Structure 1
Amino acid sequence: MKVSNCMTKNVKIADPDQTIRDAALAMGRLDAGVLPVGENDRLVGMITDRDIAIRGVAEGKGPDAKIRDVMSRDVKYCFEDEEIDDVLHNMGELKVRRMPVLSRDKRLVGIVSLGDLATNAETAEAGEALGDISRPGGEHSQTAH
C-alpha cells in the first residue's frame, strides 16, 4: 500500500513569519502537535509543540517570537508514492512519529503519522516502528544529560 492511501490530506501550513502563539492556537484547533512550515510554496521546516516549549519558552522567547526562530529546519519527509512498509522502517530509524508527505516535485501533499499507518496499514510494522522510536538514546532521550 502507498502512503497516499492513508495520509492526512489538506494539511494546515504555517508561515515562518507567524508567531509561535499563532502556531500553538492552530495546533489547539487542529488537536495536533505539529505543523509543516511553508514559504514560497516550499516546505522549509516543521514546528512542534515541543519546539515551542524547548526552543521558545525555555529559552525565554515570548508568544510573539517568530516560528522561524524555533522551528526544526532539518525536515525528514517521505514521498506519496512510497510503500508504507518502507516509510514505517524509515520512521523507526529516524525516531519520528510523523512525516510530511511530498509529491515527487517536492510539493507538500499531506502528513502521515504512525497512527495513520497503524490504523490503515500493517499494525505489526507500525508496532515495530514504535518500538524503534521508543528505544532510549539519541538526541530526544530522557537519559541524555
Structure 2
Amino acid sequence: MRIADCMTKDVQIANPDQTIRYAAQTMGRLDAGAMPVGENDRLVGMITDRDIAIRGIARGKGPDAKIREVMSAGIEYCFGDEDAEDVLHKMAELQVRRLPVLNRDKRLIGIVSLGDLAMNGESAGEALSGISQQGGLHSQMH
C-alpha cells in the first residue's frame, strides 16, 4: 500500500512566527501531538507537544514565544508514493511516531502516523518497538 492511500490529508500547518500558545491550542483542538511548520510554501520544521514542554516551558519561555524558538528544524519526511512497509521501517529507524508526507515536488500533502498505518492493515509493531528502544533522539536516558 502507498502512503498516500493511508495518510491524513487535511493537515493544519503552523507558521514559525505564530506563538506556542497557538500551536498548543491547535493541537488540543485537533487532538494531535504534532504539527508541520511551513513558511513561504515550504515545510521548515515540526512542532510537537514535547517541543513546547521541553524547549519552551522547561526553559522559561512563555506562551507568547514563537514557534521557531522551539520547533524541530531537522525535518524527516516520506513521499506519498512510498510503500507503507518501507515507511514503517524508516519510522522505526528514526524512532518517530509520525512523518510529514510530501509529493515529489517536496510540497506537503499529508501526515502519516503509526495509527494511520495500523488502521490500514500495516503491522506497526516493529516501528513501535524501534521507537521504544532506549537511547533514541528523545530518550530519557540522556
**Same fold per TM (> 0.5)?**
yes
Q: TM-score, normalised by structure 2?
A: 0.98
* Counterparts of 1:40 and 1:33, CA distance in 2: 23
Structure 1 residue aligned with 2:40: 40
Report if the CA contact (8 A) 1:42-1:107 is conserved: yes
Amino acid at match of 1:57: I
Residue identity opposite 2:75 in structure 1 = V
Q: Name the SS for the 1:132 alignment partner.
A: helix
Q: Distance in 1 between matches of 2:129 and 2:137?
A: 16
Q: Which residue of 2 aligns with 1:117?
A: 117
What SS does the aligned partner of 1:36 have? strand
Which runs of no fewer than 5 residues in structure 2 stay unpaired? none
In structure 2, the residue matched to 1:134 is: 132
Q: Alpha-carbon deviation of 1:132? A: 0.8
Amino acid at match of 1:32: A
Q: Which amino acid counterpart does residue 15 of structure 1 have in structure 2?
A: N
**2:116 corresponds to which letter in structure 1?**
D
Q: Which runs of structure 2 are paired with 1:85-100 in the superposition (5 Å)?
A: 85-100=85-100
Q: Would the aligned equivalents of 2:78 and 2:99 in 1 still touch at CA under 8 Å?
A: yes
Question: Which 4+ residue blocks in structure 1 deviate beyond 6 angstroms?
Answer: none
Alpha carbons 2:16, 2:68 under 8 Å: kept? yes
2:54 maps to: 54
The answer to whether the 8 A contact 2:95-2:137 is kept is: no
CA distance in 2, matches of 1:75, 1:142: 22
Give the length in aligned residue pairs: 142
CA contact (8 A) 2:79 2:101 kept: yes
Alignment correspondent of 2:80 = 80
The percent identity for this pair of structures is 73
How far apart are the structure 2 equivalents of 1:89 and 1:10? 24
Return the offset for 1:121. 2.8
Q: Which runs of 5+ in 1 are unaligned?
A: none
Q: What one-letter code is carried by the residue in structure 2 that aligns with 1:10?
A: D
Q: CA deviation at 1:139?
A: 2.9
**Secondary structure of 2:138's match?**
coil
Residues 13, 35 of structure 1: 8 Å contact kept: yes
How far 1:12 moved relative to its partner? Answer: 0.2
CA distance in 2, matches of 1:96, 1:26: 21
The DSSP-based 3-state class of the residue aligned with 1:37 is: strand
